[in-house]
Structures are given as C-alpha cells and as structure tokens.
Amino acid sequence: MKLFNRTLPALAACLMALGVQAQDAPPTLDASQWRSCLAGLRNSAAFSSISNATWQQHVAQLEPDPTVLPLLNRQPEFTMPAWDYLAMLVDKERVADGQAAHQKWLSTLKQIQQRYGVEPAVVVGVWGVESNFGKITGGRLLVQSLGTLSCFGRRQSYFRGEFASALRILQEGNFAPEKFTGSWAGAFGQTQFMPSTFLRIAVDGDGDGKRDLIDSVPDALASTANFLRRSGYVTGEPWGYEVKLPAGYAGTSGRKNRRSIEAWAAQGLTLPGGQPLPRTLRNAGLLLPSGTKGPAFLVGKNFDTLYSYNASENYALAIAHLSDLVGGKNSSVAFATPWPTDDPGLSRAENRELQTLLLARGHDIGVADGLIGAKTREAIKVEQGKFNMPTNGRAGQKLLRALRGR
C-alpha cells in the first residue's frame, strides 16, 4: 500500500477550529510551465493508457488550482497534539452517529464480515473518521487538484501517478466528471481512497456491477473491508487495548517494536484497572502518543492495517477508539489515563458552545456551526487576552471554562 498521509476532509473542516488552517497565500503559477508540464505528461509512459479523447475532454482546457499548494505542506496529524486530534474525531456525536450507522447497515456489514473477515464496528470506525459516515467527502475537482500537484510543488512524481489513475477512472466511465470530487490531495468518496487505491482495491458491494465509492454505501463499506484485508487484517484479533504503565516506566516503546504479551506483562504493564493483560494479541507494540505520562496502548497487527489507511498513528488510534465505542467494547470517550495537558481539546459540540458564548459577547463570527474560522480565531484571541491566557487563537477547554464562568 502506498502510504501518503491525506488530510481528511472531515478533519480539514475541523482544523480551522484549531487555528491551523492554511494561511499562506496561494502562489501565482506560471502558465507556460503548466502547459509544458502537461505536454510532457501526455507523452510520458504513465499516461500511455489515457486516450486522446479522454485527454481532450478532461485535460486540454484544464486550469491549475494554486490553492492546493499551501495545503501540501501541512500535515496536521503530525503537528497537532494527540488530544486535540482525538477530541475532534472521536466525540459523543460521532459515536452516536456511528452506532446509528452500525444499526442501519448491520445486514450489509455482516455480509462484508463473512466475505472479508473484518468486524462491522471496525469498518464503521474507518467510515466515520474518513468521511463522517459519507457526509464530508471533499468538493474539489480531482483532475484539477491532481493535475496541479503533478506540475507544481513537492511530490510531483507521486501525484502524477494519481493523476493518471484519476483519468483512467474517468475513461472507464466510473463517475461523471462533475461528481468526481474529493479532498485537495485527491482522496475521494466515502472511503477517501486515492485514485490508484480505487483501481486496485475498490469492490462492488451492492452487486450492480459498478464500484461506486461516492454514492453506494455497500460499495464503500466493502471496499474499506477489502482494503483492511489486503493490508493483513487478522480476523478476530482486536486492534489492541489501553494499558497502564508501571510507575517510572523507562522501557521500550513504539508501534513497530513488537513483543509478546508475556514480555509486556513481565515489564509490569497491566490493564488500566490493574488486571493482567489479556492474551488476545499474538504480539504488540507499545504506543505512547504523548509520552509515558499520557494514555498508553498495546497495539497489534490490526492497528497497523488502520495505520496503513493514512500513515498516522493518531489517525489509526482515532479509528480504533471509535470502533470500540461503536461496537460496545468501550463506553467512555475519555481514555482511562488522561492526556498530559491542563488544556484538552474541544469536541465539535463544545466548539459550537464556544462559538455561542463568543456571539453572546458581541463577536461577529457568523453562525455557531462548530467549525471555527478566521473571525472566530480573532475573537478567541481577544477573549484570551482578557483572561491573561496566551493569545494563540486555539479553542481549548480553558477558554471554554473561562467563558462559561463569566
């Protein structure tokens, strides 16, 4: 599996709340460089399966989109604290939506489980984190984004392969061009597959002969399960579980540094309540998203399959945790060990409450939709200043508590 960390549209919509939206002005792109780049691509081997008719229809009149380029250099999954990332992606709303989706699609999910060996709640967890259960799939025209990224910025060779794959998908008549939209980096549909992943992995879940990850939920869910299976999913094994470290733990850690459960038990690790570690994983790595002071997890092979979806451990943990909550293996959105911060992140409902409080204080920030844009960040800075907090525009629990108390 090609690992490329895609900023999820569901996440991108939330990023503004953290003040990490792209603020860089898009560059001015050189028109002659664009034309000569496209001409070069047309004659390259990667595009040899694209017919002249397809090229004429989809590329000949294409204009580049410079607004994708500032996004290329942002990898919020890596720069954001784990507690902000998890707070946005796993909150009570998403758990409730996931439980409803799990119920609604249960017969489909059970058929998928029989065929691919992946449990329903895990498939639903991926769906929820990837596209908020199909609600947020990205609105950028894929051919335009991928064409631009093929000719400007870093990682052009990677995006050229995806550009060619996107054109092949259109050439094969899978989607109407105007429906073929997705995230800035080219991930699309309810599974947020990259075009090359679609060509290799997508399957027809509802039996109509088409692989429609945009409008068919059964196709999207089956394709997700197929992706996990192809990544080495072990049927019946959990992704892992939260553990408690012994006081002063200074031993080994890391997702890839796998040891037997017996070895971890010998190091003094237990379940959060002190019970012995269950022997449900063949072996596991110790994941410490925020060091030894924060929540700790033993993670096995199936965690790696979630990781392979988006090359981010925090992302994989969000799916894993959401899956446990949807499937009833866990009932608490908070982990047993709290995050090592005195200012945790906000859920989407808390973002809306924060916005309502700011509106009540006369800040002109539009509607309280839980997505905090530039105006709200400015309002947050003003209020942070009044409370002698760092004026960084970040929406966190401290400011929310301060505003509630006034």
Smallest gap from residue 182 Cβ to Ca ion (A): 18
Greatest C-alpha distance within the chain = 67
Cβ atoms 383, 372 nearer than 8 A: no
Measured in degrees and rounded to the nearest 5, phi and psi for residue 166 equal: -60, -40
Strands 296-299 and 240-243: antiparallel
| CA-based end-to-end distance of the chain | 52
Residue 223 or 330 having the CB closest to Ca ion: 223
Residue 209 or 236 having the CB closest to Ca ion: 209
Strands 140-141 and 240-243: unpaired
Smallest gap from residue 283 Cβ to Ca ion (A): 38
Smallest gap from residue 198 Cβ to Ca ion (A): 13
Residue 206 or 343 having the CB closest to Ca ion: 206
Rounded to 5 degrees, what angle do the CA atoms 299, 307, 331 make? 55
User: Distance between CA 39 and CA 30 in Å, rounded?
Assistant: 14
Q: Within the chain, how many helices (H) and strands (E) appear?
A: 19, 6
Residue 207 or 274 having the CB closest to Ca ion: 207
Residue 259: strand, helix, or coil? strand
The CA radius of gyration of the chain, in Å to the nearest whole number, is: 22
Smallest gap from residue 80 Cβ to Ca ion (A): 35
Smallest gap from residue 206 Cβ to Ca ion (A): 4
User: Distance between CA 165 and CA 271 in Å, rounded?
Assistant: 45
User: Distance between CA 45 and CA 127 in Å, rounded?
Assistant: 35
Cβ atoms 158, 338 nearer than 8 A: no
The Cβ of residue 402 has, within 10 Å, a number of other Cβ atoms equal to 16
Smallest gap from residue 191 Cβ to Ca ion (A): 13
Residue 176 or 250 having the CB closest to Ca ion: 176
Residue 209 or 405 having the CB closest to Ca ion: 209
Smallest gap from residue 221 Cβ to Ca ion (A): 11
Residue 224 or 351 having the CB closest to Ca ion: 224
* Segments of 47-172 assigned E as strands: 140-141
Structure tokens at 1: 């599996």
Residue 216 or 312 having the CB closest to Ca ion: 216
Q: Please report, as ranges, the residues that interact with Ca ion according to CB under 5 A.
A: 204, 206, 208, 210, 216, 219
